[in-house]
């Protein structure tokens, strides 16, 4: 019974609103929803652009750090070579070259005598 009373009480209210006004109200509500959706999409686009820019900046920072590390490594190697005494470089070169036992003067002369 209460249900029937509720339906009857709504019916007179709906009857008072002209159909043209109802249509206008629906159009205005749809327009408002479209505006809200447009604003939301604009905000989402702006947020995506900010995220993309941040990612590009992070990638650039990584490339710059890698380049800096390479430069520092080369500088360290160059400084090591500059700091190393020249005699150590010569000794190192001699250790890398094939070693021949030093010959005495007599051996050198004897080997020359073979060719005569």
Residue range 57-90, pLDDT digits in tens:
999 999 999 999 999 999 998 888 787 766 676 7
The pLDDT > 70 percentage for the chain reads 65
| pLDDT of 107 higher than 90 | no
Ramachandran region, residue 98 (left: φ > 0; alpha: ψ -120 to 50; beta: rest): beta
Q: How many CA atoms lie within 13 A of 110 on its CB side?
A: 5
pTM summary value: 0.47
What tokens appear for 41 in the block? 């999409």
Residue range 6-17, pLDDT digits in tens:
555 555 555 688
In 22-105 the beta strands, taken as DSSP E runs, fall at none
Total length of the chain: 116
**What pLDDT is recorded for position 4?**
55
Output the CA angle 40-42-44, nearest 5 degrees.
70
Distance CA 44, CA 42 (A): 5
């Amino acid at each position: 019974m209460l249900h029937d009373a509720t339906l009857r009480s709504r019916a007179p209210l709906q009857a008072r609103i002209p159909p043209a006004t109802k249509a206008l109200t629906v159009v205005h509500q749809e327009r408002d929803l479209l505006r809200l959706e447009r604003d939301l999409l604009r905000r989402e686009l702006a947020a995506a652009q900010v995220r993309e820019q941040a990612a590009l900046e992070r990638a650039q920072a990584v490339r710059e750090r890698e380049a800096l590390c390479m430069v520092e490594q080369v500088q360290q190697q160059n400084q090591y070579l500059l700091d190393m005494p020249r005699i150590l470089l010569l000794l190192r070169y001699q250790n890398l070259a094939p070693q021949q036992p030093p010959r005495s003067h007599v051996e050198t002369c004897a080997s020359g005598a073979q060719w005569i």
